Amino acid sequence: MSAPGAPTMTRLEKLMLPMTRNVGAERLLEGLSRIAHAPLDRAQALPPGCYTDEAFFALEMERLFGREWICIGRASDIPEPGDHLTLELANAQVMAVRQRNGEIAVLSRVCRHRAALLGTSGGGSTKLFVCPYHKWVYELDGTLRGAPTLEQNPGFRREDCGLPSFRTEVWLGFIFFCADPAAAPLAPRLDQVAERVRSYDLAELTTGFVLEDVWEANWKVAFENSCETYHHMGVHPSSLEPFFPTLGARCEAGGAGFNLHVVPAIAGFSFEPATGGDAQSAQSAQLLIIGVYPALVLVLSGRTVSWFAFAPVGVTRTRIRVGWLTPKGGQHADGSRLARDREILERVLSEDRASCAGVQLGLGSRDAASGPLSPLERTVAEFSRYLAERLTSVERADPAPSLGSIASAPPGQG
- 62 vs 352 by CB, closer to Fe ion: 352
Residue type, 304: T
Q: How many beta carbons lie within 10 A of that of residue 388, not counting itself?
A: 19
What is the C-alpha to C-alpha distance for residues 176 and 273, in angstroms, rounded to an integer?
A: 34
| Burial class of residue 203, CB neighbours in 10 A (0-12, 13-18, 19+) | middle
Alpha-carbon dihedral angle through residues 390, 357, 45, 383, given to the nearest 10 degrees: -30
Partners of 125 in the beta sheet?
A: 83
Question: Taking CB within 5 to 8 Å according to partner kind, which of Fe ion, ligand FES, none is near residue 253?
Answer: none
Question: Taking CB within 5 to 8 Å according to partner kind, which of ligand FES, Fe ion, none is near residue 340?
Answer: none
Nearest to 33 by CA among 397, 395, 396: 395
Binding to ligand FES by CB under 6 A, coded x per residue (else -) over 67-106, reads ----------------------------------------
CB of 150 to ligand FES, least distance (A): 9
- 117 vs 400 by CB, closer to ligand FES: 117
352 binds Fe ion (CB under 5 A): yes
Q: Which residues contact 102 (CB under 8 A, 6 or more apart)?
A: 81, 414
Report the site for Fe ion in 42-81 (rule: CB under 5 A).
Answer: none
Could you tell me which stretch among 61-69, 83-91, 113-121, 231-239 binds ligand FES (CB under 6 A)? 113-121
Number of residues that bind ligand FES (CB under 6 A): 8
Could you tell me which stretch among 45-53, 108-116, 240-248, 275-283 binds ligand FES (CB under 6 A)? 108-116
Which DSSP category does 80 fall into?
Answer: S
What is the C-alpha to C-alpha distance for residues 349 and 298, in angstroms, rounded to an integer?
A: 14
The answer to whether the beta carbons of residues 93 and 86 sit under 8 Å apart is: yes
Could you tell me which stretch among 5-13, 77-85, 326-334, 345-353 binds Fe ion (CB under 5 A)? 345-353
What is the C-alpha to C-alpha distance for residues 52 and 402, in angstroms, rounded to an integer?
A: 23
Q: Which residues contact 393 (CB under 8 A, 6 or more apart)?
A: none
131 binds ligand FES (CB under 6 A): yes
CB of 72 to ligand FES, least distance (A): 22
Contact with ligand FES (CB under 6 A): which of 51, 136, 174, 223?
Answer: 136
113 binds ligand FES (CB under 6 A): yes
CB of 176 to Fe ion, least distance (A): 24
- 110 vs 320 by CB, closer to Fe ion: 320
- 111 vs 380 by CB, closer to ligand FES: 111
- 53 vs 377 by CB, closer to Fe ion: 377
- 133 vs 269 by CB, closer to ligand FES: 133
- 134 vs 145 by CB, closer to ligand FES: 134
The answer to whether the beta carbons of residues 68 and 61 sit under 8 Å apart is: no
* Helix boundaries (H) for 169-326: 191-196, 219-227, 232-235, 278-283
Question: Taking CB within 5 to 8 Å according to partner kind, which of ligand FES, Fe ion, none is near residue 114?
Answer: ligand FES
What is the C-alpha to C-alpha distance for residues 96 and 108, in angstroms, rounded to an integer?
A: 9
- 158 vs 250 by CB, closer to ligand FES: 158
Contact with ligand FES (CB under 6 A): which of 23, 133, 146, 234?
Answer: 133
Contact with ligand FES (CB under 6 A): which of 21, 37, 134, 396?
Answer: 134
- 129 vs 200 by CB, closer to ligand FES: 129
What is the C-alpha to C-alpha distance for residues 89 and 219, in angstroms, rounded to an integer?
A: 11
Query: Side by side, which strands form the sheet with 286-292?
Result: 206-215, 317-326, 304-314, 296-301, 286-292, 258-264, 250-255
Residues lying near Fe ion in the complex (CB under 5 A) = 352
Residues lying near ligand FES in the complex (CB under 6 A) = 111, 113-114, 116, 131, 133-134, 136
